[in-house]
Structure 1
Amino acid sequence: MLPAGPRAYSKQRLPGGAQSQTTFARAVPITIRSMTQTVLLALDTSTEFCSVALLSVDADADGQPGAAPQLWVRHEQTGAVSSTRLLPAIRELFAEAGLTLADCDAIAFGAGPGSFTGLRTATGVAQGLAFGLNLPVVPVSTLLACAESARLRDPSATRVLAALDARMDEIYWADFAWDDAQREWRTVQTASLDVPERLVLPDAPFTLAGNAAAAFGARLPAVAAARTVDGEALPHALPLAHAALRALRAGRTVPADQAAPEYVRDKVAQTTAERVAGKAEKAARDEQAGRDARLAQAAQDGAADAASHGEDRQ
């Protein structure tokens, strides 16, 4: 059961605005539930980390973001079992923040590219939570999250080539330019899948973000060409929440039933050995699909329960 207690906003901040820390779609109408405050939950399980952030930001008299947001974060290395930690981590953040799921205005998730299983997990939980409370969903590219992370770590990182190890000797990559006037990222090159040598370099000084540099080294031309290499700028719920807040205020959301992963690699060639193991893999996939369905249902049940508690308080 997700928390349904009363609101409480008096918190002490840690450095960077975070309260707690362990190591695009078509526009649809949205309703911000409070004219003075926006609460957003962000999830990412696209890597071996289970990453959750809860963001609360007040608005000024014109409805624009006012003071720096309050942030509560969980970022834990979980390997292939993120699904077992995701809902507990969400509960912990809400309890720590003194907020409830019924206080949320939107659910954001790392849409990909990344681990297929991880993407399905985050998508299913985001859908389940959003269905239960009739909330909009904000899909955020994991590559955009890398770019946002690089900019948060270094404000001069306004042109970012995000590149992640896609395994199978390939990389996921995209090119982003920060528009300071609009306070938003512009996509120069959409998410692509290539061998490292085929990555297209930006036409301006850039930061290389993501783990591809560590994975491929000199095989990646961008390593030598980049003004800065930031291997720590990875998919993480905190930068994802910042990007999602801008998307929410711009109306770039989708209904829960339209939230979907961005796999990029839609088809994976199978080796003979993989085909021999196909039956076992199918059984494992079916089992995972069952777990995903149960996880999404648990999230939806928790959201419905939180909603009913919220109505009781009104």
Structure 2
Amino acid sequence: MLLALDTSAGASAALIRSGEVLASWRTEQTNTHAEVLAPAVQSLLQEAGAQVTAGEMPVDGVVVGVGPGPFTGLRVGLALAQSLAEGWGVPLHGVCSLDAVALHAVQTNSVSGEFLVTTDARRREVYWARYESDDDGSRLIEGPFVGSASELPELPAVGAGVSLYPEHLRLPDQAPREASGWIPQAAELGLLADGALAGDLLGVLCEPRPLYLRESDAQIPQQMGAPQQTRAPQQTRSTP
């Protein structure tokens, strides 16, 4: 059984076993991650009958969405995932959060051929990646990136970026209207990781390190006379 978490946009958690979603929880609130995520995980484990006691491992692994996403929200999910995996002594796996939206698009027959997944990056920009649907699901072609919606490839798109910038992004003809508001969900992340661990999917799992893609809005003030410190560039996920 896998516990999946994602806080790249809203917050969600899910329990997965053998390709089945046993229980799931989500909220689209973006300012309560730290308060609600841990209690939600506890409730899910109780719902699934998992024992959370000393010396017991309630799950066989933890999966976390690595973004891209805002600094504060993304850190909450990654920190909790790392703490739980270390405390339980189980493996921790990372999955690009945009992959979850791509999977949902394919599962609901909302896309065909090449398409984009877009989410809100604030600063009048979107996080995005290009995918191609095939018989096995979706394949990442390039990304993830962050940039203006007006500069994206001229392809149909799904995800919350479409509702934010309809003048630049369009849904696939067969996609439902609600596809313009889709955000990553832990249930799809868990299904992807479950398939990858079973050997059915390649290029899905990655290091559980955050994909911020740009500098934080909050910067440490430069002291008078002290040299300015720069943050090391974040690694982005390579195309399988």
Shared fold (TM-score, shorter chain, > 0.5):
yes
The 5-angstrom pairing of residues 29-48 of structure 1 reads: 39-47=1-9
The two structures, once aligned, show a CA RMSD in angstroms of 2.6
Shift of 1:159: 3.8
Q: Are 1:111 and 2:60 matched, yes or no?
A: no
Deviations along 1:97-127, one digit per CA (max 9) or x if unpaired, are 1123614221111110112111111111111
| Cα gap change, 1:201 to 1:88, in 2 (>3 Å) | same
Shift of 1:176: 1.1
Q: Which runs of 5+ in 1 are unaligned?
A: 1-38, 58-67, 280-314
Deviations along 1:217-254, one digit per CA (max 9) or x if unpaired, are 21x1x317x43452243211111111121222238656
Quote the Cα distance in structure 2 between the aligned partners of 1:138 and 1:184. Answer: 20
**Aligned partner of 1:259 among 201, 204, 208:** 208
Shift of 1:191: 0.5
Quote the Cα distance in structure 2 between the aligned partners of 1:173 and 1:114. Answer: 11
Q: Which runs of 5+ in 2 are unaligned?
A: 223-240
* Secondary structure in structure 2 of the residue aligned to 1:78: coil
Quote the Cα distance in structure 2 between the aligned partners of 1:165 and 1:70. Answer: 26
Match of 1:312 in 2: none
Structure 1: 4+ residue segments shifted above 6 A: none
Match of 1:72 in 2: 23
Higher Rg: 1
Match of 1:169 in 2: 124
| Cα gap change, 1:184 to 1:138, in 2 (>3 Å) | farther
Q: Are 1:142 and 2:124 matched, yes or no?
A: no
Shift of 1:40: 0.8
Q: Is the 8 A contact 1:150 1:157 kept in 2?
A: no
Q: Is the 8 A contact 2:20 2:191 kept in 1?
A: no
Match of 1:214 in 2: 163
The 5-angstrom pairing of residues 5-16 of structure 1 reads: none
The 5-angstrom pairing of residues 138-287 of structure 1 reads: 138-154=93-109, 157=112, 159-180=114-135, 183-202=136-155, 206=156, 208-218=157-167, 220=168, 222-223=169-170, 226-228=172-174, 230-250=179-199, 253=205, 259-265=208-214, 267=215
Deviations along 1:28-54, one digit per CA (max 9) or x if unpaired, are xxxxxxxxxxx111101112x221101
Match of 1:50 in 2: 11
Amino acid at match of 2:141: V
Shift of 1:70: 4.1
| Cα gap change, 1:40 to 1:133, in 2 (>3 Å) | same
Shift of 1:157: 4.6
Q: Is the 8 A contact 1:147 1:233 kept in 2?
A: no
* Secondary structure in structure 1 of the residue aligned to 2:212: coil
Amino acid at match of 2:97: T
* Secondary structure in structure 1 of the residue aligned to 2:66: strand
The 5-angstrom pairing of residues 20-31 of structure 1 reads: none
Match of 1:133 in 2: 88
* Secondary structure in structure 2 of the residue aligned to 1:73: strand
Shift of 1:158: 5.7
Count of aligned pairs between the two proteins: 212
Identity, in percent, stands at 29
* Secondary structure in structure 1 of the residue aligned to 2:150: helix
Q: Is the 8 A contact 2:101 2:184 kept in 1?
A: yes
Quote the Cα distance in structure 2 between the aligned partners of 1:215 and 1:150. Answer: 18
Amino acid at match of 2:196: A
Amino acid at match of 1:121: V
Match of 2:226 in 1: none
Q: Which deviates more from structure 2 when the two are superposed, residues 94-103 or residues 169-178?
A: 94-103
Q: Is the 8 A contact 2:64 2:208 kept in 1?
A: no
| Cα gap change, 1:253 to 1:239, in 2 (>3 Å) | closer
